Structure 1
Amino acid sequence: MAIAGFIGTTIEYYDFFIYGTAAALVFSHIFFPALGEVTGTVASFATSAVAFVARPLGAVVFGHYGDRWGRKGTLVTTLLMMGLSTVAIGLLPSAAAIGAAAPVALVVLRFLQGLALGGEWAGANLLTAEYAPNGRRGRYAVFPQWGGAIGFGLSSATFLATDAVIHNSDEAFLSYGWRIPFIASALLVLLGLWARGTIAETPVFRAADTTPRTSPFAGVVREQWREVLLCGGLTGVVFALFYIGSTYLTAYGTATLGIERRTVLALGIVAAAVVAIFVLLGARLSDRYGRRTIIIATGGLAFVWSLTLFPLLTTGSPLAFGLGLAGAFALNGLAFGPVGAFLPELFATRYRYTGAGVGFNLGGIIGGAVPLCSPRC
C-alpha cells in the first residue's frame, strides 16, 4: 500500500514539476516570444501559478468522490487526468505556429494538472495513513511525501539527460528537447495505473459510515473550518520553501546569476535527495515529538534562513547557489515529513479526503502561487 502511494504521487509530482522546470527554462521563448525576456518569464510563471488556484477546486471535486465512494477509484482518475494533460502539453504547438491559441491551451492544460494534483495528495496519504498502526503513522505516511522529492529529482534528471543527448544545443532544446520529458510521462502513467490497480480500499473507509448526510465539502466547512485554515497556514510555509527552490531559484540561477543550465539541473537532483532525507527525518521526529511541534519549529528556522539566502546567492558562486537550494529543500523536507500524517488526523473519516485536501491546497495558493507570480521581485 505504501509503495503504491509512493509510485502514484511520484508520477503525479513529476508531471507537475516538469512544467515548472520548463516554465523557468523555455516557456517564455516558446509561448510568449512577443513579450520579451522579462515579461515573457513573468507570463510563464503566471501560467504555472494557475495550477495552484485549481488545486483547491480539485480537492473539493475529487474529495467528494473519495469520501463518498472510496480512495482507490478517485486516485486512478486523478492519475489519468494528470498524465493526459502532461502529454498534451508536450505535443502543443508553439505560439509561432498557432498564435495566441498556444498560450491559451497551455493555461487550460495547466489548470487540468492543478485539478488532478489537488485530488491526488489527500487520497494518496489516506491510503497509507489509514493502514498505518498507531504510533507509527508519521513513518508510514512519509511514502507519499517522498513522491514530491523524487518527482522533482526525476524531472530535473530527465531534462538534464535530454540536454546531454542533444549536446547542450539551445536551438534543439527550444525546438523539441523540452517536449521529451512531457511525452515520456505516458510510460510513467502506465506504471502508476498498474500500481494503483493492485491496491484495495482502506479498512478505515470500509468500516466508516458513508451514508450521505450532506456533501463532504459542506460538512467540513460547517464543522471543521478552523482546521482547514490551520492546514492552509501551516502548509503555506512548506509550499513556499519548496517552490522557491524548485522553480524560482531555477530561473534565478540561469537568468540572473548566469549559471549553466546543466549545472542548475544537476544541483536540482542533489536538492531532491536532500528533501528525501529530511522528509524521513521530519516524519520520524513527528512520531516522537508531535507533528505540530516539528512544523512550527521548522517555520522558525525558515525565517532565519530567509535572511541569509539572497546575500548568499548574490555571490554568484555555483557552490553558494547549491547551498541556498539545499537549505530551502532541507527545511521543506523537515516540515513536509509530518504533514502527511498531521492533516488527515485533524478530520473526521466521513470528510477526511475533502478536509485534508482543501487545507493542503489552500496552502498551495498561499505558498506556491503567490511567489511564482512575482519571480523578479
Structure 2
Amino acid sequence: MSATQTAPAAASPSPASAPVKNSRGRVILASLIGTTVEFYDFYAYATAAVLVFPVLFFPTGDPLTAQLASFGVFGAAMIARPLGAVVFGHFGDKHGRKATLVASLLTMGIATFIIGLLPTYAQIGWFAALALLILRLAQGFALGGEWSGAALVATENAPAGKRAWYGTFPQLGAPIGFIIANGLFLVINFSSPSREWFLEWGWRVPFLFSAVMVIIGLWVRLKLVESSAFEKASTKGAIRKVPIGTVFRHHWKELILGTFFMLATYVLFYLMTSYTLAWGIKPADVETAQAAADAAGTPFDAAAFFPGGGFAYPEFVTMQIIGVVFFGVFTMLSGPIADAIGRRRLLIWVTLAIIVFGLTFNVFLMSGGSPRFAGALAQAFLIFGFTLMGATFGPMGALLPELFPTNVRYTGSAVSYNVSSILGAAVAPLIALALWAWVGEPWLVGVYLSVMGVLTLIALIIGKETKDVDYEEAGFSSSAVL
C-alpha cells in the first residue's frame, strides 16, 4: 500500500475519539426549562397563596392570620431548600450534573402536580394544610438542587468571555415562569363561569399543567452530556468524597459572601411578586367569595381580606406581567454588561439603586388620588422594581458558581443560594405583611428592603471580582475572592 493511500487514515481522528459536546441550543434549553418550571411552580403557589389558599386551607377566622399561615407554608419551602442543596449538590459534585438535574426536576414536578389534586379543609380538615405543607417542603427540597445545576450547565458550557451571558439563561426562567403562571391564572379567572368554580376547580389547573413543562424538561436533560470542567476534575482525581465537608472547611468565606450577595435580590424578588399582589388587589366580587366560604363552612371575612391598593385582580396581574417583561429584558442585558465590566461593579451600582428604590415605596404606593393616577404610579413602581430585579438577578447565574472550584461548585453555589433563600425569600412576605399591618402604609416595607440592600452592598464591597477566575480549575482550592 502506498504512503499516499495510508496518510489520510493516519491524519484523521476517528469520529468515536472526538469529544461529544452539548450544542448551544441544548445548553440554553436544558438550563432554561428547569428554572422556568421552578419559578412557574413558585408563582403558581404565590398567586394561590393570596387568592384561594387562605380560604380553602387556612380558615382561621381572621384574614391576617389566614394570610400569614398561607405565606408561612410558602416560606416553609425555603427551609427545605438548603437540605436539597446539600443532597443534590453532593451527587452533582460526585457523579455529575446530568442525573442530578433530572432527579430534581422530576421531584419538583410530581410535588406540584399533586398539589393540584389536594382536598381542602372543608373535606378533610387540617390534614389538608398538613398535606400542602409536606408537598411544599418536597418542592423546596427539589429546588435546592435545581438552580445551581442549571447555572452550572449554562456556565460550564459557555464560550470564553461569555459566562455571565450564558448564566442569564437559567435566570430567564423567573420572568418566563411568572408570565406563564400568572397568564394562565388570568385566563382561568376570565373564563371561569363563577367565582365559586374558580375557588373549587379553577385554581388547580396551573398546578396540573406543570406536568407538561416537566415532561419537556426531562426530554431535553436526558440528552445532555457532562461538561469538560467536570470531566477534567474527575480525570484528575479531584472529586471530593464529601463535598459539603470541603466547602465548610475550606470555602466558608465564599459561602457567607454568596449568601449575602443574593440577599437583596431575594427580598426584592418576593416583594415584587407576593407582597405587591397582596397589596394591589381589592375585594372584587367579595360577595361571591364570602358565599363560597360560607358554603364550605369556613369562618372567613372576605371583605377584610384585601386591604391594599384597590385594583381588580385581572387589572393588577396584567400590570405585573408588564413589569415582568422589563425583568426579562434587563436579565438578558445584564449578562453582556457583567462580562464587559465585571459582576461586582455592576452589582454594586444596582444594589445602590435598590436601596434608593426601597425608600420610595410611599411615593409610588400612596393611597388616595384618582384611580388613573394611582394606576400609573403603581405601574411605574412595578416597572422600576422588576427592572432592578433583572439587573441584579442576571449576573448571579455566573457569580455564585465562580466563587467555588469545579469539584465543589455544585454544592457551594447551591448552599449559598439556598441559605440566602431562608434569610430573604422565606421571611420576606411574612415580614412585609406584618410591617404593612403594623403601620398601615408600605413605607416601612421599603425600609426593610433598603436595609437588606445595605447588607448586600457590604458583602459586594468586601468581595473581589470573579469574572477572570479559571473556571476549569479542578484542584482543591478555588481562586481567591477575598
What TM-score do the two structures reach when normalised by structure 1? 0.97
Matches within 5 A, 1:17-96: 17-96=43-122
C-alpha distance in 1 between matches for 2:88 and 2:430: 26
2:93/2:239 contact within 8 Å kept: no
Q: What is the one-letter code of the residue matched to 2:322?
A: V
C-alpha distance in 2 between matches for 1:262 and 1:245: 17
Aligned with 1:295 (options 344, 347, 359): 347
Q: What is the match of residue 270 of structure 2?
A: 243
1:237/1:363 contact within 8 Å kept: no
C-alpha distance in 2 between matches for 1:200 and 1:99: 47
Q: What is the match of residue 194 of structure 1?
A: 219
C-alpha distance in 2 between matches for 1:200 and 1:310: 50
C-alpha distance in 2 between matches for 1:170 and 1:239: 33
Q: What is the match of residue 390 of structure 2?
A: 333
C-alpha distance in 1 between matches for 2:338 and 2:246: 28
C-alpha distance in 2 between matches for 1:125 and 1:158: 27
Q: Deviations over 1:230-282 (max 9, x none)?
A: 11101011111111011111111112112111112212221221111111121
Matches within 5 A, 1:177-216: 177-209=202-234, 213-216=240-243
Identity among equivalent positions (%) equals 42
Report whether the alignment pairs 1:230 with 2:257. yes
2:247/2:408 contact within 8 Å kept: yes
Q: What is the match of residue 279 of structure 2?
A: 252
Shift of the alpha carbon at 1:98?
0.3
Q: What is the match of residue 151 of structure 1?
A: 177
Q: What is the match of residue 272 of structure 1?
A: 324
1:8/1:195 contact within 8 Å kept: no
Q: What is the one-letter code of the residue matched to 2:149?
A: G
2:84/2:140 contact within 8 Å kept: yes
Higher relative contact order (CA 8 A, sep 6+): 1
Q: What is the match of residue 377 of structure 2?
A: 320
C-alpha distance in 2 between matches for 1:304 and 1:12: 30
Shift of the alpha carbon at 1:153?
1.3
C-alpha distance in 2 between matches for 1:351 and 1:127: 14
2:144/2:414 contact within 8 Å kept: yes
C-alpha distance in 2 between matches for 1:360 and 1:28: 29
Rg larger for: 2
Gaps of 5+ in 2: 1-26, 282-305, 369-373, 436-482
Q: Which runs of 4+ in 1 moved over 2 A?
A: 209-214
C-alpha distance in 2 between matches for 1:25 and 1:376: 18
Q: What's the secondary structure of 2:159's corresponding residue?
A: coil
1:8/1:196 contact within 8 Å kept: no
Shift of the alpha carbon at 1:315?
3.5
2:77/2:139 contact within 8 Å kept: yes
Q: What's the secondary structure of 2:38's corresponding residue?
A: helix
Q: What is the match of residue 410 of structure 2?
A: 353
Equivalences, count: 376
Shift of the alpha carbon at 1:186?
1.2
C-alpha distance in 2 between matches for 1:240 and 1:221: 25
What TM-score do the two structures reach when normalised by structure 2? 0.76
Q: What is the match of residue 306 of structure 1?
A: 358
Worse overlay, 9-18 or 61-70: 9-18
